[in-house]
Structure 1
Amino acid sequence: MMRSSRLGVGVIGAGRVGPVIGAALAGAGHAVVGITGGSDPDRVEAILPGVPVLDATEVARRSELVVIAVPSAELPGLVQGLADVGAWQIGQLVLHTDPSYGFGVLAPAASKGAIPLALHPAITFTGTSIDVRQLVDAHAAVAAPAAVLPIAQALAVELGCEPVVIAEEDRAAYAEAIATATEFSRSIVAQSTALLAQAGVVNPGSYLATLVHSTIDQALTAAGRGAAEDGLNSLG
């Protein structure tokens, strides 16, 4: 559906997420027309070579699809501010990548005729081209008004992800699950490597790699099996 219509994509947010999403969409055949400035222009240039650096208002005005990848605390104010200056356009796609919000946070854009979409790929972004490969076969939480939900799902597929619909009322639980998985994993690995270093292990990260990966793989397999069994039980 989306491949047949090449979109002009603008990216607001030049941190770890925005440039990668832009690069993945470019790989799917869309054209990145602009990105806002960031603290590491060399990294952004490496991922999106030759893409013009513009302010947020100009990015919104030039783009058919606007990808917003800014910190959670900045998202509501940014969307409202761009509405206040008349940057949003009728029929324009506006997509944010924050796990904490559904499409409701984009209401100021929707009130101007834009189409609100929420899409959060469930990966830990490094801000490099490695992430584009990580997107393939990852899952992505999507949300949008029912009439345009297929657009959010199609964009997730174009990124290489499997779309999973998360209802607006479930967004807080989703965000907590993502935060728990990432923060707890980092914390446990940090504690374990520190203890191994104390015990005299020279390269504790390498020492733990196979153990941690195999343990997580087993836990995920067990979780998947449990979910499948719960589904069968509910059918019975």
Structure 2
Amino acid sequence: MPLHVAVIGAGRVGTVLGAALARAGHHITVVARSPRSLARARRLLPDASFVSLAAATDADLLLLTTSDDALVQAARELADAPSLRVGQTVLHTSVVHGLGALEPLQHRGLRIGSMHPAMTFTGQLTDLDRLPGTTFTVTAQPDLLKPLRRLIEGDLKGRQQSLREEQRPLYHLGLVHGANHLVSLVNDACDMLRAGGITHPQDVLEPLLRAALDNALDAGDHGLTGPIARGDVGTLEWHVATLEQTRHPAADAYITLAHRTAERAHHAGILSDVTAARLMDAIAIRPDRRAASTRRCNCGS
């Protein structure tokens, strides 16, 4: 049965989820405050209704997709709306906030929950093709779990995973470390290849990185290849010397990640105690390296 869904906060996540729910046959109402958000929502949701917050409160499902910093205030403003009905459902998509952010709405008799899509969003139509198979972590009142499963697995074609409140920090850390830091890592690698004379580094890295990601997801630590997996101490020393000679801004990041990679390889039984110790010594973060990095960064100037 089609629902009336109000998307409150027309950012990248809200507009894409709204577009996916519209494709599933639901009627979408959008509350967008900035011109940029409004333009994005009109592009992805051409058949939606665009209304004020007060006019959106008669929806069956209120989807709060504001930024993390704006969520608590948005929930308070929504809770002040006189037209809210007991039994309506309100969900937010933040992983930083738990159900506590929606307490003012629970006091009004609404059913509350959160569903966080573990996906990166650009706010483009191409995002819709990435949603199928995406995991949505859910924290909700017990009577909402079954309706949420229908919404996530039936309409959004995703997968539902329960998330307890105390699990949120490490869950979010894992997503940020794996996805956001990957962007910096890949771009640092592109810069190194350009400096090494490669005109189109993305063409070189794409098949390599896809294979490395597949190996990591399929085989865990045993998907590791390269000099650390082989125990090539001399190669690591060569890398470190190059980073120091070129005063590369990614030197500390490389050494830290190499150290962590060697640690994991040792714990996984890939490296012997002796080889691991020699690798750790080769890539040790020494005070003179840290001081040189600080001078390169010139932080605070």
Q: TM class by shorter-chain length?
A: 0.7 to 0.9
The answer on 1:134 being equivalent to 2:147 is no
What does the per-residue CA deviation read over 1:54-84, in whole Å, with 9 as the maximum and x for residues that have no partner? Answer: 223322x131111111110110111012213
Pick from 149, 159, 165 the counterpart of residue 145 of structure 2.
Answer: 149
- Tell me the CA shift for residue 105 of structure 1: 1.8
The aligned counterpart of 1:9 is 5
1:127 is aligned with what amino acid? G
Q: Which runs of 4+ in 1 moved over 3 A?
A: 85-88
1:125 Cα deviation after fit: 0.5
Matches of 1:216 and 1:99 in 2, distance apart?
25
Indicate how the Cα distance of structure 1 residues 223 and 145 shifts in structure 2: closer, same or farther if over 3 A, else same: farther
SS in 2 for 1:62: coil
In 1, Cα distance between equivalents of 2:173 and 2:200: 32
Mapped to 2, the partners of 1:146 and 1:72 lie a distance apart of 24
Q: How does 1:166-177 map to 2 (within 5 A)?
A: 166-177=163-174
Given that 2:15 and 2:40 are in contact with CA atoms closer than 8 Å, whether structure 1 keeps it comes out as no
Whole-angstrom distance in 2 between the partners of 1:111 and 1:45: 33
Higher RCO (Cα < 8 Å, 6 or more apart)? 1
CA positional deviation for 1:155: 1.6
Write the mapping of 1:204-215 to structure 2, written as runs, cut at 5 A: 204-215=201-212
Judged with a 3 Å threshold, the aligned counterparts in structure 2 of structure 1 residues 149 and 40 are, in CA distance, closer, same or farther, namely closer
Structure 2 unaligned spans of 5+: 223-301
**Displacement, 1:41?**
3.4
SS state at 1:29 partner: coil
* Larger displacement relative to structure 2 (170-179 or 36-45): 36-45
User: 1:104 maps to which residue?
Assistant: 100
Aligned to 1:180: 177
CA distance in 1, matches of 2:125, 2:74: 27
Q: Is residue 135–residue 158 contact of structure 2 (8 Å, CA) maintained in 1?
A: yes
DSSP-derived class of the 2:116 partner: strand
In 1, distance between residues paired with 2:138 and 2:116? 7
Counterpart in the other structure of 1:231: none
- Which SS does the other structure have where 2:66 is aligned? coil
Q: Which has the larger radius of gyration?
A: 2
Q: TM-score, normalised by structure 1?
A: 0.86
Q: Counterparts of 1:87-126 in structure 2 under 5 Å?
A: 88-126=84-122
Change (3 A) 1:62 1:223: farther
Residue 198 of structure 1 deviates from its aligned partner by 1.2
- The answer (yes or no) to whether the contact 1:68–1:96 under 8 Å persists in 2 is yes
CA contact (8 A) 1:35 1:51 kept: no
| Gap runs ≥5 in structure 1 | 226-236
Per-residue displacement from partner, 1:128-186 (whole Å, max 9, x unpaired)? 11111101011111110122222222221121101011111211221111121122111
Relative to the length of structure 2, the TM-score reads 0.69
